[in-house]
């Protein structure tokens, strides 16, 4: 029982824009009134719904491989010293699971979506998610390079493909469907890639990436999943890839789709020397198509480690940088590559990437459809979000940062002409209310009576980055978890999942195929529900 009084509340889901309002909390939910045992004097403070990260990589085989590859970063990063009640941990480029919870909660984020899970290692991913404290979690299952699904799609057996996808989603205890470089990761098993939406994929006769994205988007809608198809397009990171991205969006016209980390998919030029921003082209198309959402995957300068299911891209990045490279092939399902990377302001390509991430956030005019991410840890680590907020809210600061870039950059980007500054209300949309809505989390990103009492209280500060990095209080499920930088408690979070229905003959269909091409027993493959801490099953309802 808690009452927060006198704060200026920013609650875009209910149109509340800075009005002074009391918030009462009981049993983890927001209520009308309460006999408060504890009161927080929020006079002069700012109240937001807790942050929601729509796309991050915090648990699973890939990030855990990245942890092994970067001991030099662990050594220099922030250490979390254990207490009698709290486990130790390390922050940095690939934080440990415990530290991941502390760091997210520490900057006011209370819900995170792990965006890439192979079904085969879903059991592992959930083990890790169980060890991420405080925040609520969900995860998306990789489907666009699954050989069984691809064979069905090539054979034109849409209905069966739909049931198989639903079965996989149940087996993985996932929340939604992720597509990464459709067909390209399968082609990577031949050392090849798949860059054209209408060209057949290596190892297949007629199946194309275009067919995969269209059918997956339809499956997601037919199954009524709360979150649309979460799509990492073909041809990530390559100069001139705006053509592929626009082609993909045209393939999906009229469908719900979430375009992941669009920063990596909005480049012009025909080589590294001529690479330029095409954020305006992306934004123009996107603004005109309201069934789409996106997150930016913004880049910040500095060291990080890139991890993606996009295996062929990671091999290219290894060859470009000569740095460490990890490659994981996940049987018939997907793959993954890991390469440490440093974004440098003096590097023209990196400078363009930095600008594109911000341009997309500034040129897309509906904040309800574009969300704050860095595709952690790919563009930058998630704990650097406050720096992006500052860049969005302060044009002067943005211009000062731009002045440090190579002079040649000016003709390649749109940022110098953009004067837009985000308001606090808009920030509350892109970091909380918007991603919560896109994920279909009706209880999140919303401070109305009956909603989850996840919220964050900031001190108003001219230093925006400091304001968002050091909240005064963070409250998760009604409990004060962060009090002025001190981790007060580390409750277990919940995990969201869906259980879409599938035809009962699906298992009989899958078992022989599975026994043919997998290395584990069919019976041992699905993750048991009791392996997951506080599972919460979200309804599926057919999308009209």
Partner 1 sequence: MELKIIDHATCTFCGCVCDDIQLHSDGQRIHKAEKACVLGKAWFLNHSAEKHYPDALIDGEPAKLADAISLAAELLHAADMPLVYGMSNTTCEAQKQCVAMADHLGGLLDSHTSL
Partner 2 sequence: MYWGGNPAECHPRHFTKYALMPKSKFLPNGRKDRTVVLVDIRETKSVKAADLFLQVRPGKDFELLTILRALLKGHDVGDREIAQTGLDRAVLEDLLSRMKASKFGAIFFGMGLSMTRGKHMNSAALLTLAAELNSFTKFVAMPMRGHGNVTGADVIMRWQTGYPFGISFNRGYPRYNPGEFSTVDVLVRGDTDCAFIIGADPGATMPRPAIEHLARIPTIVLDPHVTHTSRIAKVHITTAPAGIAAPGTAYRMDEIPLPLSPAIDSPYPTDEQVIKQIRAHLEQKPNWLPDSQQTLASQV
The binding site for partner 2 (CB under 8 A) comprises 59, 61, 64, 67-68, 71, 74-75, 78-84, 86-92, 94-98, 102-103, 106-107, 120-121, 123-124, 127-128, 131, 147, 188-191, 203, 315, 318-319, 325, 327, 329, 383-384, 386-387, 465-466, 469-470, 482, 485-487, 516-517, 519-520, 524, 528
Contact of residue 64 among partner 1, partner 2, none (CB under 5-8 Å per partner type) = partner 2
456 binds, among partner 2, partner 1, none (CB under 5 to 8 A by kind): none
The DSSP secondary structure of 462-487, one letter per residue, reads SSHHHHHHS-SEEEETTEEEEETTEE
* Cβ–Cβ under 8 Å, residues 97 and 128: yes
Question: How does 265-276 read in b/e, with b if 16+ C-beta sit within 10 Å?
Answer: bbbbbeeeeebb
Size of the site for partner 1 (CB under 8 A): 8
* Residues 6 or more apart in contact with residue 476 via CB below 8 angstroms: 50, 105, 110, 134, 135, 454, 491, 493
* Residues 6+ positions from 88 with CB-CB distance below 8 Å: 79, 80, 81, 82, 98
Query: Taking the complex as a whole, how short is the minimal distance between the CB of residue 456 and partner 2, in angstroms?
Result: 13
78 lies in the binding site for partner 1 (CB under 8 A)? no
The only residue of 19, 88, 199, 206 in contact with partner 1, by rule CB under 8 A: 88
82 binds partner 1 (CB under 8 A): yes
> In the complex, what is the shortest distance from the CB of residue 99 to partner 2, in angstroms, rounded to a whole number?
8
Name the minimum Å distance from CB 97 to partner 2.
Answer: 5
CB within 8 Å of 213: residues ≥ 6 apart = 144, 179, 182, 197, 229, 231, 248, 251, 252, 257
Partnered with residue 341 across adjacent β-strands are 304
Instruction: Pick one of 21, 29, 87, 323: the residue that binds partner 1 (CB under 8 A).
Output: 87
Strands 334-343 and 2-11: unpaired
- Nearest approach, Cβ of residue 408 and partner 2 (Å): 30
Shortest distance, position 131 Cβ to partner 1, whole Å: 8
CA atoms within 13 A on the CB side of 301: 15
Pick one of 35, 524, 542, 544: the residue that binds partner 1 (CB under 8 A): 524
Count of CB atoms situated within 10 Å of the CB of 416: 14
Of the listed pieces 57-65, 141-149, 224-232, 520-528, which binds partner 1 according to CB under 8 A? Answer: 520-528
Token look-up 């963070």 returns 474
Closer CB to partner 2, 325 or 425, in the complex = 325
Site for partner 1 contains 521 (CB under 8 A)? yes
Nearer to partner 1, 35 or 521 (CB): 521
**Which CB sits closer to partner 1, 205 or 519?**
519
Q: Which of 20, 520, 529, 537 forms a contact with partner 1 (CB under 8 A)?
A: 520
The least CB distance from residue 403 to partner 2, in Å, is 22
- Prior bond to 377 cis, omega within 30? yes
For the four alpha carbons of 360, 454, 127 and 517, in that order, the dihedral sign comes to negative
The position carrying tokens 């018939």 is: 332
Task: Report the residue number, 411 or 524, with the smaller CB distance to partner 1.
Answer: 524
- Asked if 125 and 174 touch (Cβ cutoff 8 Å), the reply is no
Sign of CA dihedral 471, 130, 309, 80: positive
Q: How far is the CB of 359 from partner 1 (least distance, A)?
A: 44
Smallest distance, Å, CB 103 to partner 1?
Answer: 18
- Is 36 or 79 the residue whose CB approaches partner 2 more closely? 79
Whose Cβ is closer to partner 1: residue 88's or residue 199's? 88
Mark the segment that binds partner 1 (CB under 8 A) among 36-44, 419-427, 466-474, 517-525.
517-525
Looking only at residues 192 through 211 of this chain, which bind partner 1 when binding is defined by CB under 8 A?
A: none
Stretch that binds partner 1, among 16-24, 44-52, 82-90, 379-387 (CB under 8 A): 82-90
**Structure token digits, residue 526:** 């699905």
Q: Is residue 74 a contact point for partner 1 (CB under 8 A)?
A: no
**Strand runs (DSSP E) across 253-405, as ranges?**
257-259, 267-268, 276-277, 292-295, 302-308, 326-330, 334-343, 370-371
HEC string of 400-456 equals HHHCCCCHHHHHHCCHHHCCCCCCHHHHHHHHHHHHHHHHCCCCCCCCCCCCECCEE
By the criterion CB under 8 A, which residues form the site for partner 1? 82, 87-88, 127, 520-521, 523-524
């Amino acid at each position: 029982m808690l009452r927060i009084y006198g704060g200026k509340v920013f609650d875009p889901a209910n149109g509340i824009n800075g009005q002074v309002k009391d918030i009462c909390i009981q049993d983890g939910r927001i209520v009308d009134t309460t006999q408060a045992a504890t009161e927080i004097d929020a006079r002069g403070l700012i109240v937001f719904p807790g942050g929601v990260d729509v796309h991050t990589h915090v648990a699973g085989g890939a990030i855990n491989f990245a942890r092994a590859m970067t001991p030099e970063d662990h050594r220099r990063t922030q250490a979390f010293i254990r207490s009698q009640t709290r486990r130790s941990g390390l922050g940095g480029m690939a934080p440990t699971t415990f530290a991941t919870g502390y760091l997210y909660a520490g900057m006011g984020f209370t819900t995170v979506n792990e965006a890439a899970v192979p079904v085969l290692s879903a059991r592992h991913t959930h083990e890790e998610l169980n060890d991420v404290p405080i925040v609520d979690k969900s995860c998306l299952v990789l489907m666009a390079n699954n050989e069984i699904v691809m064979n069905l799609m090539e054979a034109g057996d849409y209905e069966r493909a739909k049931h198989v996808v639903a079965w996989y989603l149940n087996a993985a205890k996932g929340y939604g469907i992720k597509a990464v470089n459709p067909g390209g990761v399968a082609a990577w098993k031949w050392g090849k890639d798949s860059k054209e939406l209408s060209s057949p994929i290596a190892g297949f006769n007629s199946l194309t990436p275009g067919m995969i994205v269209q059918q997956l988007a339809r499956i997601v809608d037919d199954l009524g999943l709360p979150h649309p198809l979460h799509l990492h397009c073909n041809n990530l990171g390559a100069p001139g890839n705006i053509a592929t991205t626009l082609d993909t969006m045209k393939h999906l016209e009229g469908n719900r789709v979430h375009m992941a980390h669009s920063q990596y998919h909005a480049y012009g030029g025909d080589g590294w020397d001529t690479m330029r921003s095409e954020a305006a082209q992306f934004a123009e198309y996107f603004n005109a198509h309201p069934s789409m959402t996106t997150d930016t995957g913004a880049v910040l300068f500095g060291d990080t480690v890139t991890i993606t299911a996009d295996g062929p891209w990671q091999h290219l990045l290894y060859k470009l940088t000569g740095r460490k490279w990890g490659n994981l092939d996940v049987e018939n399902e997907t793959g993954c590559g890991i390469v440490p990377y440093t974004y440098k302001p003096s590097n023209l390509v990196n400078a363009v990437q930095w600008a594109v991430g911000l341009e997309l956030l500034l040129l897309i005019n509906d904040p309800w459809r574009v969300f704050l991410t860095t595709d952690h840890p790919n563009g930058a680590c998630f704990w650097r979000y406050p720096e992006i907020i500052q860049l969005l809210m302060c044009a002067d600061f943005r211009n000062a940062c731009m002045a440090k870039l190579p002079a040649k950059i000016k003709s390649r980007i749109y940022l110098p002409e953009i004067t837009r500054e985000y308001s606090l209300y808009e920030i509350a949309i892109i970091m909380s209310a918007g991603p919560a809505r896109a994920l279909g989390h009706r209880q999140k990103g919303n401070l109305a009576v009956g909603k989850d009492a996840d919220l964050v209280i900031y001190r108003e500060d001219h230093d925006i980055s400091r304001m968002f990095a050091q909240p005064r209080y963070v409250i998760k499920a009604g409990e004060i978890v962060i009090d002025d930088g001190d981790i007060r408690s580390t409750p277990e979070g919940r995990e969201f999942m869906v259980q879409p229905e599938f035809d009962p003959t699906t298992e009989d269909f899958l078992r022989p195929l599975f026994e043919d091409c997998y290395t584990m027993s069919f019976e041992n493959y699905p993750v048991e529900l009791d392996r997951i801490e506080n599972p919460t099953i979200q309804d599926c309802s057919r999308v009209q």
